[in-house]
Chains A and B, each alone.
Chain A
Amino acid sequence: MAGHFVHRDPSFAHGVHPPMSKEQTRGLAIRQFPFAPVMNIPLAQHIGEAAVPVVREGQEVERGQLLAEPGGFVSVAMHAPASGLIQRIGLMPSIAGKMVTGIYLKPFPGSTQEVSSGTPCDLDSATADEIITAIQRAGIVGLGGAAFPTHVKLKVPAGHSVDTLILNGVECEPYLTTDYRVMLEQRHDIFTGIGYLLKATGARRAIIGIEANKQDAATALRAALPRGHHVSVELLEVKYPQGAEKLLIKALLNRDVPSGGLPADVQAVVVNVATAAEVGRLLPLGRGIQERVITIAGPAIKKPGNYRIPVGTPLRFALDYVGVEKDLSQVFLGGPMMGAALPSLDIPITKGTSGFVAFTERETGGRRRESPCIRCAYCVDACPLFLNPSQLGLLARNEQYETMVEKFHLMDCFECGACSYVCPSHIPLVQYFRAAKVMAKKRRGKP
């Protein structure tokens, strides 16, 4: 069989191969971004309850100082991204469009911006629960884009056990190179972080999953593998959406996370490599997240790159700093496959922002009109979950939302966009599904 002669890196079934467009920034080392004149720090930068402020308007804070306490278990702390003055605590625009509560911080221009440290969390003496609490107090959330509080993931539910910790270094979104740069430049932070994460979850081994287009990152990590832990690095086929949690588990462990279930149901926990690096960087010093690494890229950006940027930096300031082309047409947060197009630049960069990409009119001008489905089955062969996007699209147009949910598993769709990407009829399938999910929930809510 041909399969014996052609080496193929493991992967999931189906999926698509968009151009990765990472050349623009992959060779650019992480650089420090300057402080904006005013930082906007939303109290809910994560999934879950908003954090509760412990500072008041007019107070002076040090960089790294606690600004807000976790508002519950599914919530994390917030720290000052710069030494400065709390101008105001009030409403500010958010990505979702509605106004949210946040802290306006004005950095001191003359400050040395030393980071203050707290109580270190010692890996050898801390218990699993102590590490989990420390991660929550450090304000760490999933840096891959979901911004789900990391400590919640690590808290293995009662009755479950975890044997494998998976580090997600796939970064399958086009243009983004943050995880790649972190793997090259912060491998010791990653391994320190893995030490904490293994202890917190009780997993015996850790696997770092990387797409095969980042061989050098894999080589660098392999060269520095720590002794004493079972850590391995696995290369995966370059295929979108390889970075999706369930598909990464499928590729590395060949386990199917049940519908509606958690990775813990198949004895796994998945953490992004950049998140692990932050755990390894912050916990030994007792610090919290005040900045993160993002990629700013796309044809409309004059100075693309990978930047360590303070959380709360307004997007407008960031774009002004890197410069944009005159024919700027569109900016989206995250990559072009799953990222949201921004209606305005008056929003801050938050912990979940893995980067933003800007397109010129050349990239956005060629978009074409929707035409009828020709049942080519490209979408059926693209959907990594084996849903039937063509049929779901048809039902959505007929407003049969209940049927979509009950018989065609609409709610399993995680909106990766593979179906829309391949559709030759240019049907905005993902958008139909988003709307259908909202409508189905609304209808179900009625008596």
Chain B
Amino acid sequence: MNDLRKTLEISTSPHIASGRSVEDIMRNVVWALLPATAFAIYAFGIGALLTLSVATLTCVATEHLLCRGGGRRSTVGDWSAVVTGLLYGLTLPPGLPLWMVVGGGVVALALGKYLFGGLGYNAFNPALVGRAFLQAAFPAAMTTWTPALAPERFQVLPSSTLTLPFMTPDYSLTAADGVTGATPLALMKFDQQPTGTYDLAFGFTGGSMGETCGVLILLGGIWLVARKMMNWRIPAAIFGTVIILSALFNGLDPARYPGPWFTLFSGGLMLGAVFMATDMVASPMTSLGVVIYGIVIGALIIVIRFWGGMPEGVMYAILLGNALSPHIDALTQPRVFGYKSGLKSERYHEDYRQ
């Protein structure tokens, strides 16, 4: 009877939980990014290792300092800053001066995440906010590509990496022959020069550090989908839209518009569709909503790439998709069990995500 005198603990039902936590999800995203990260280091050498480390550390440190500065508990333990930092780093061109890497990382966390209220409240993918800032501030540096698989890549850093703040980066060492490694997209857009199928899929091309090897990115994505930590409908809708639209225009004018295979595996599409557009916070929540969201992003990518001034448009397409997410959610709420019609969308809209 003695055992029954003790104080009982009170909690509200349910008294059991799935055991899954935010940290688990974020950690798994990091694991899923590791193959692409490893390939980035293989393709771009110690410069990539340094840049990715600096990008990740900058984001983690910024979040930690902002939380502490604001008198709050530091939230770096949830691993989301690591995800942001690594993703942000992977979207950068190899050889980007480190002071720019740091600047963009601070913007990603401070502007893209902390100002919105931290994890869960960021309207946009923070990694892309950081990248968009750099794209606007340093358009030249952001589109100068150190070539992949340079022979000296494990011995020397790209000369531009250690450029002092506000100095003009020196690309002479990395492009000794005077030619920088243009991306397949730029080659296609400006020189109508295609890239080999195999090189494209396996990443033996120029480009941002983590975007080149589509196969390894897909591998990480499949792993996350299998663990139910990624909504497969988002990349599937983007891929589907891109394949259909590029096949259509490629059929109409093969000289001007690349086909589906090239479109899928060139530029940031794979990395963006699998790891950026699927950012849980900035994507819609309904099953129908994520499909619409994916279609919008896919269509925007095609529009920007085919008819825009820039060779690449994945980043802007996803940021625009992020902006539309709450609206897509509000318009695609499912029919509640026991009701004849869906929620009244207009009335619903004004209260959604206030």
Which residues of A does B touch, CB under 8 Å?
16, 18-19, 174, 246, 250, 256-261, 316, 319-320, 324-326, 328-332, 336-345, 359, 363-364, 367-368, 371-378, 380-381, 384-388, 390-391, 394-395, 398, 400, 403, 407-409, 412, 415, 417, 420-426, 428, 430-431, 434
Contact = CB atoms under 8 A, between A and B. Distances in A.
Given A374-B120, A380-B285, A398-B354, A428 B12 contact: yes
A358 to B, nearest CB: 9
Interface of B: 1, 3-4, 6, 8-18, 20-22, 24-25, 78, 80, 117-121, 231, 280-281, 283, 285-287, 333-339, 343-344, 347-348, 351-354
Contacts of B285: 375, 377, 380, 388, 390
Contacts of B348: 407
B155 to A, nearest CB: 42
A325 B353 CA distance: 46
B276 to A, nearest CB: 15
Given A258-B338, A398-B354, A331 B8 contact: yes
Nearest to B80: A374
B54 to A, nearest CB: 26
A372 B343 CA distance: 26
A330 B16 contact: no
A339 B13 contact: yes
A403 B281 contact: no
B219 to A, nearest CB: 22
A330 B280 CA distance: 35
Dominant secondary structure at the A interface? loop
A359 B3 contact: no
Listed residue (B1, B121, B285, B353) with the most chain A CB atoms within 10 angstroms of its CB: B285
A329 B9 contact: yes
A423 B120 CA distance: 13
B345 to A, nearest CB: 11
Nearest to A388: B333
B24 A424 contact: yes
B119 A324 contact: no
Listed residue (B8, B21, B78) with the most chain A CB atoms within 10 angstroms of its CB: B8
A386 B1 contact: no
B4 A320 contact: yes
Contacts of B335: 386
A136 to B, nearest CB: 29
Contacts of A430: 12-14
Given A424-B21, A426-B21, A326 B13 contact: no
14 contacts: A18-B14, A258-B339, A320-B1, A330-B15, A363-B16, A371-B22, A371-B119, A377-B285, A391-B352, A400-B354, A407-B347, A407-B351, A408-B343, A424-B25
Contacts of A371: 22, 78, 119-120
B286 A380 contact: yes
B10 A328 contact: no
A403 B16 CA distance: 29
A342 B336 contact: no
Contacts of B280: 374-377
A386 B336 contact: yes
B9 A364 contact: yes
A250 B162 CA distance: 65
Contacts of B347: 407
B120 A373 contact: yes
B351 A338 contact: no
A391 B353 contact: yes
Contact of B336 (A387, A400, A425): A387
A324 B8 contact: no
Nearest to B348: A407
A75 to B, nearest CB: 27
Contacts of A376: 25, 280
Listed residue (B1, B22, B287) with the most chain A CB atoms within 10 angstroms of its CB: B22
A259 B339 contact: yes
Nearest to A357: B15
B120 A372 contact: yes
B160 to A, nearest CB: 36
Nearest to A175: B16
Given A337-B15, A374-B280, 19 more contacts: A18-B16, A19-B16, A246-B337, A320-B4, A329-B8, A330-B8, A337-B14, A344-B8, A375-B285, A377-B280, A380-B286, A384-B337, A386-B335, A398-B354, A407-B351, A412-B336, A412-B337, A430-B14, A434-B12
A261 B285 CA distance: 29
Nearest to A12: B337
Contacts of A384: 337
Contact of A341 (B9, B17, B22, B25): B9
Contact of A409 (B3, B286, B336): B336
A329 B14 CA distance: 16
A430 B12 CA distance: 8
Contacts of A328: 3-4, 6, 8
B348 to A, nearest CB: 6
B333 A340 contact: no
B286 to A, nearest CB: 7
Listed residue (A257, A261, A336, A388) with the most chain B CB atoms within 10 angstroms of its CB: A388
A407 B6 contact: no
A420 B4 contact: no
A364 B15 CA distance: 8
B20 A374 contact: no
A389 B120 CA distance: 15
B13 A246 contact: no
B351 A336 contact: no
Contacts of A343: 8, 10
A415 B13 contact: yes
Nearest to A406: B347
B281 A374 contact: yes
Given A320-B1, A374-B120, A417-B14, A341 B8 contact: yes
Contacts of B22: 371, 374, 424-425
A376 B229 CA distance: 8
Contacts of A258: 338-339
A403 B351 contact: yes
Contacts of A423: 17
A407 B17 contact: no
Give me the 7 closest cross-chain CB pairs, A-B, nearest first: A417-B14, A372-B120, A259-B338, A377-B285, A385-B337, A431-B12, A336-B15
Nearest to A425: B22
A367 B11 contact: yes
Contacts of A174: 16
A259 B231 contact: no
A77 B344 CA distance: 46
Listed residue (B17, B21, B334) with the most chain A CB atoms within 10 angstroms of its CB: B17
A407 B342 CA distance: 11
